[in-house]
Structure 1
Amino acid sequence: MQLYSQMTLAELQIEMERLRREAEEKQKAGDTVGFSILQQKFFLAKSYFLGTKEFFVGQTYQVYGHEQPFTIDYFNGVFAWGRFAGSEEQTGFPVGMLERR
């Protein structure tokens, strides 16, 4: 299998659609572990598709599946590292999981 970092934008779009469909099937079948794995792969592929240009250090975003706002401290590849509001613990997420607030 080709690495996401080596795929073209078109290939990443195809991969994201494939992962979305497979995750949906796993969810319908009640396979929560399989669903979670495919969902994480989807977010990673989406991160390579988006890149980090649209995200900014010091800005606050919503992380998929989390209630608290998340502020970016720095990037490492396609991962944004930062903190949730009210926390000093630094956490990393693929940028594909971030949404504007």
Structure 2
Amino acid sequence: MQQEKRYSVMTEHELRKEIGILQEQARKAEQMGMVNEFAVLERKVQLAKAYLIDPDAFKTGELYEIEGNPGQYFKIDYLNGVFAWGYRLNGDGHEEALPISLLKKLK
């Protein structure tokens, strides 16, 4: 059994290839009505995409829109790798971590 490579050690080319494979698997899972499998694969795609983004492009204390959730905003308290830790505006007040690929800069 071959050990899967971690996203953090993959090259950009390997990450893009992995994203394509995951998106195809997600499409098939959605067509087959496998909702849970689809959700897991979509999350993996977002995580892999986060490794293609420079974390230095994100600043603590700033607001970002959450991709796929129009009108939902996230304030970053700190960054840890490719995860932004902070709070959703108008959320329940609990700290959470989002992959930076889910955050969109406000215009």
Common topology (TM > 0.5) = yes
1:58-77 equivalences in 2 (<5 Å): 58-66=61-69, 67-77=71-81
Identify which range, 11-20 or 61-70, moves more after superposition: 61-70
Give the TM-score of the pair, scaled to structure 2: 0.85
How many pairs does the alignment contain? 101
> How many Å separate the matches in 2 of 1:82 and 1:100?
15
| Superposition deviation, residue 65 in structure 1 | 4.2
Identify which range, 49-58 or 28-37, moves more after superposition: 49-58
> How many Å separate the matches in 2 of 1:86 and 1:26?
33
| 1:96 aligned to which of 93, 101, 107 | 101
1:9-88 equivalences in 2 (<5 Å): 9-66=12-69, 67-87=71-91, 88=93
**SS at the partner of 1:10?**
helix
Letter in 1 for 2:35: T
Indicate the RMSD between aligned Cα atoms, in angstroms: 1.4
User: Identity, % of aligned pairs?
Assistant: 35
Letter in 2 for 1:74: Y
> How many Å separate the matches in 2 of 1:83 and 1:77?
17
> How many Å separate the matches in 2 of 1:2 and 1:95?
21
Larger Rg: 1 or 2?
2
> How many Å separate the matches in 1 of 2:76 and 2:26?
28
> How many Å separate the matches in 2 of 1:13 and 1:51?
15
Unaligned runs of 5+ in 1: none
Letter in 2 for 1:10: H
Unaligned runs of 5+ in 2: none
